[in-house]
Structure 1
Amino acid sequence: MTHATPALEPISDLVAVVPAGGVGSRLWPLSQPTRPKFLLDLLGTGSTLIQDTVTRLSALTDEVYIVTGARHADAVAAQVPQVPQELLIAEPSPRDSMAAIALAAAVIEQRRGPSIMGSFAADHVITETQAFAEAVATAVAAARTGKVVTIGIEPTEPSSAFGYIRQGSGLEGVAGAMDVREFTEKPDPETAAQMLADGGYVWNAGMFVVSTDVLLGHLARLQPTLAEGVRRIAAAWDGPERAAVLDEVWPTLTKIAIDHAIAEPVAAEGGVAVVPASLGWHDIGDFDSLASMLTPDAQGVISVGRTAPAAMVKASGATVVGGDRPVVVVGVDDAVVVETDEALLVTTRQAAQAVKDAATSISGL
């Protein structure tokens, strides 16, 4: 799904960071703790989500760091061998996005001094790569002014699946960047519709561009224990004490998302900017969103990762994922059938968000 990016000059002071964490439990049983969604070819393109992400970022910078769980490090390294081993940061256990991103920032600064860092999730789909490159370049220019910058997605519908960013006035000296007035948690559908009617809102896609010293400076004020911890780990990262310091300090780091730790409080102080963009962006968070990106066959069935036949009787809109046996859906519209070696899931596209609850009850994800 990712189109080729036209030849671009790399952004000399940009270092990309790819946080590759999370199970993707709304895509259970396809996505598992040992097989998270960023390692999957969900769209049948021949490349996985993390491979597409690294390819997209490699057009913009020569340095792409990946932060992932220790149990996924070998699989990540195998999928993106173009990323040098020294740019792969393995975290011993999940501590949420702030710890992962802050550790990368601290390691980058330890190695090369203050640098502009861009954090981009491993599991997002972006089809408009030229627009993405332009948005990143604008975000880097805004970050050079000392702002924490996020790339906001121009909404295509009043979705309640995403957080929203309220834009303020234009950022002086940086065309295409706006001050952020506030972040809003995922709203209910009625509130989301009102936001779109009012205008001036974009979706929060969790893409951040900021100078490492600015990020770590805010962290030292707002989350001092976390800031001190990642700096201590980074100081030992390229030496023989890495493992010992990591084992000692990592479990003590505050478990918090970057939105709550940095973005929201710094926005309240006027320190956050947003670059609104239309990128062909998709967060494949559940089987409904996955199905929306795929084309049905002549019978109207969406098939993913299977060659066995699937059919419908007095039904429409079926999505069938995996498995090597014939599947027939009778009398259920928008059914979702997912078969893996571990489990069989039967649901509907309307109930796709509830799959996370099923995954938790069955396998303790």
Structure 2
Amino acid sequence: MTHPEDTLIPVILSGGTGSRLWPVSREAHPKPFMRLPDGETLLQKTFLRAMRFSRSPEVMTITNREYYLKSKADYKAVLTEPITTSFLLEPFGRNTAPAITLAALKALANYGPEAILLVLPADHLIENTDAFDKQCAKAITLAKDNRMVTFGIMPTAPETGFGYIEFGDLYPAHTDCHQVRRFVEKPDAALANTLFQSSQYLWNAGMFCFKAGVLINELNHHAPQILQAARQCWEKSRAHPTDPYTFEFDPVSFAEQPDISIDYALMEKSQEIAVIACQFGWQDIGSWEAYKKLHPADSNGNTVLGDAILIDSQNNFIHSESRMVASIGVQNLAIIDTPDALLITHRDRTQDVKQVVQTLKEKSHQSYLMHRTVIRPWGSYTVLEEGHGFKIKRIVVKPEASLSLQMHHHRSEHWVVVEGTAQVLNGEQTILLNTNESTFVPVGTPHRLSNPGKTDLVIIEVQTGQYLGEDDIVRFEDTYGRVT
């Protein structure tokens, strides 16, 4: 067990789907994996901030189990020094109160009640990391005094997309550290303006710092049902088959967790809350309007990412991944174009994009869930065309990577090699295929596709059958621990 005063555990919350950033953010490829102008994802930036704390024996990430391999790949791409990365994998979302409670139980079991947790959402951008480090040092000092600390952002404008914190007196000998008077829900425009003008309110950033033991004690006092449900879930969690530092939560007991935020469940009730007034270039990249601010505008106020022609158009944001976008005589629009979905909204309404996503989910439309291009640990696939009884994919397998040994109940597959060399296990036969060569995999046949080469393997896959859903797969062996 690490010595208590040396134990600081950064905890990254990476569970939100980012529905207001649809159609780029999808449930299977959410906001933390969106790349910013410098090429890094929001998740990578959060991880790099967490790694700055040298006293940390590990960086803990709470995320959906479907994002586990993507998250590990993101971390590996920016990892510059050895550090333990642990994961708590949720079968589905249950908000921040259960997630943070389970993280505290893990820290309590591994490091004891004095371990300090620094909770960091994965969808925030912080420009001044040195200022951020200084404010974290203040939070850690207060946490050692058995306070639960939240980070408040000094507002720069009336904002209806954030909750607010009303702060009171300063703590003695703690500059910028105040007592919390109350939490305020996301306001309407009139109330947001009133709060902004009062100078007694901060934006609620959703970042926290506290001892594991203090959080558990406060939950026991104010929200015992949440603590009890989390304990039962933790007792039934199991280690990931390929990573002893990672735990998967039992779906049945996890479903018993209340779907509630830590603010509602505890922070609004506890008397042990302190808030630090922060200025470190914080941005919550929660809407297309916020994302637009990361990029420069031209002389007409237009921000363009991709190919576009704008005629007599002002103050627009255009994001196009592949096609040319042309506009004539429009103002103040956000136009987001992806290969399978197009969003057009007034810039004042970008907070309402989540209503589109909700409607798509109700209609079971696949565009809420995934893109045509889907990232996998072994590479990626892109759906090129599909119709009744067929689907055509472009599959890219990374060098020396392999898909799982698998079979399908309802579909057959025909593979044609476009680039590279494929090693194929097809039933009892193992074959090598070069460019322009092919093989056919009948329904119910165990098969595996591997890339033995040093460059990408690219194949075209033609599926035929009465059911072509991605869930028609039985895995027998898998390099990435995906066998159930």
Alpha-carbon shift at residue 77 of structure 1 (Å) = 1.0
Partner residue in 2 for 1:342? 340
Given the superposition, is the C-alpha separation of residues 141 and 320 from structure 1 closer, same or farther in structure 2, using an over 3 Å criterion? same
Q: Letter of the 2:351 partner, please give it.
A: Q
Q: Which residue of 2 aligns with 1:359?
A: 357
Unaligned runs of 5+ in 2: 363-367, 369-484
**1 CA distance for matches of 2:361 and 2:293?**
27
- Residues 157 and 243 from structure 1, CA distance in 2 versus in 1: closer, same or farther, beyond 3 angstroms? closer
Contact 1:99 1:253 in 2 (8 A): yes
Change (3 A) 1:221 1:258: same
Q: Distance in 1 between matches of 2:15 and 2:171?
A: 32
1:141-220 aligned at under 5 Å gives the runs: 141-220=141-220
CA contact (8 A) 2:300 2:314 kept: no
In 2, the alpha carbon distance for the partners of 1:244 and 1:174 equals 40
Aligned to 1:125: 125
State how many pairs are aligned. Answer: 348
The one-letter amino acid paired with 1:77 is: K
Q: CA 1:330 to 1:180, structure 2 compared with 1: closer, same or farther past 3 Å? A: same
* Equivalent residue letter for 1:95: R
Could you tell me which amino acid in structure 1 is paired with residue 297 of structure 2?
P
TM-fit CA distance, 1:175: 3.3
In structure 2, do the counterparts of structure 1 residues 239 and 88 end up closer, same or farther at CA, with 3 Å as the change threshold?
closer
User: Relative CO higher for 1 or 2, CA cutoff 8 Å, sep ≥ 6?
Assistant: 1
How far the C-alpha of 1:297 sits from its partner, in A, is 4.4
SS of residue paired to 1:80: helix
Give the equivalent residue in structure 1 for 2:42.
Answer: 49
CA offsets, 1:101-138, max 9 Å, x none? 11111101111112111111001000011110011110
SS of the residue 1:214 aligns to: helix
* Residue of structure 2 in register with 1:3 after alignment: none
What is the CA-CA distance between 1:194 and the residue it aligns to? 1.9
Could you tell me which amino acid in structure 1 is paired with residue 69 of structure 2?
Answer: D
Which of 1 and 2 has greater Rg? 2
Report what 1:6 is aligned to. Answer: none
After TM superposition, give the deviation of residue 293 of structure 1 in Å. Answer: 2.2
Q: Give the distance between the partners of 2:205 and 2:286, measured in 1 at CA.
A: 12
Tell me the CA shift for residue 360 of structure 1. 1.6
C-alpha spacing 1:92/1:245, structure 2 compared with 1 (3 Å): closer
The equivalences for 1:50-65 within 5 A come to: 50-61=43-54, 62=56, 63-65=58-60
How does 1:1-365 map onto structure 2 within 5 Å? Answer: 12-41=6-35, 43-61=36-54, 62=56, 63-81=58-76, 82=79, 87-114=86-113, 115-235=115-235, 237=237, 246-266=250-270, 270-297=271-298, 300-304=301-305, 306=306, 309-364=307-362
Q: Provide the rounded CA distance (Å) in 2 between the counterparts of 1:235 and 1:84.
A: 26
Q: Give the whole-Å Cα distance in 2 for the aligned partners of 1:238 and 1:254.
A: 21
Shift of 1:71: 0.9
CA–CA separation in structure 1 for the residues paired with 2:320 and 2:310: 17
- SS of 2:105's equivalent? helix
SS at match of 2:156: coil
1:239 deviates by 6.1
The code of the aligned residue for 1:105 comes to A
- Residue 24 of structure 1 deviates from its aligned partner by 0.7
CA distance in 1, matches of 2:240, 2:290: 45
TM-score normalised by length of structure 1: 0.89
- Percent of aligned positions with the same letter in both sequences? 30
Change in CA separation of 1:247 and 1:351 when aligned onto 2, cut-off 3 Å: closer
CA gap of 1:107–1:183, structure 2 versus 1, over 3 A, is same
CA distance in 1, matches of 2:194, 2:233: 45
Q: 2 CA distance for matches of 1:358 and 1:140?
A: 41
CA shift at 1:85, angstroms? 6.9
What one-letter code is carried by the residue in structure 2 that aligns with 1:264? E
The superposition leaves residues 15-47 of structure 1 with CA deviations (integer Å, 9 ceiling, x where unpaired) of: 110110111111111100001010110x32110
Counting helix residues as a fraction of each chain, which structure ranks higher? Answer: 1
Corresponding residue SS for 2:205: strand
The residue type paired with residue 50 of structure 1 is L
Is 2:11–2:117's contact at 8 Å kept on the other side of the alignment? yes
Note the alpha carbon deviations across 1:164-188, whole angstroms, 9 max, x for none: 1111111234333111011111122
Return 113-122 or 84-93, whichever deviates more.
84-93
Query: Cα RMSD over matched residues?
Result: 2.3
Q: After the TM superposition, which of the residue ranges 62-71 and 218-227 deviates more from structure 2?
A: 218-227
| Cα offset, 1:353, TM superposition | 1.5
TM-score (norm 2): 0.68
> Which protein is richer in strand relative to its size?
2
3-state SS of paired residue (1:293): coil
Offset of residue 338 of structure 1: 1.1
Asked if structure 2 preserves the Cα contact closer than 8 Å seen for 1:18 and 1:121, the reply is yes
Query: For the Cα contact (< 8 Å) 2:336–2:342, is it kept in 1?
Result: yes
**Once the 2 structures are TM-superposed, how far is the Cα of residue 197 of structure 1 from its aligned partner?**
2.2
Note the C-alpha offset of 1:221: 2.2
Q: Alpha-carbon deviation of 1:196?
A: 2.5
Q: Structure 1 residues 246, 85: CA separation in 2 closer, same or farther (over 3 Å shift)?
A: farther
Give the Cα separation in 2 of the matches to 1:28 and 1:85: 33
Are the counterparts in 1 of residues 152 and 203 from structure 2 also a CA contact under 8 Å?
A: yes
TM-aligned CA distance change 1:239 to 1:294, over 3 Å: closer
Deviation of 1:363 after TM superposition, in Å, equals: 3.7
Tell me by how many angstroms 1:245 deviates.
7.0
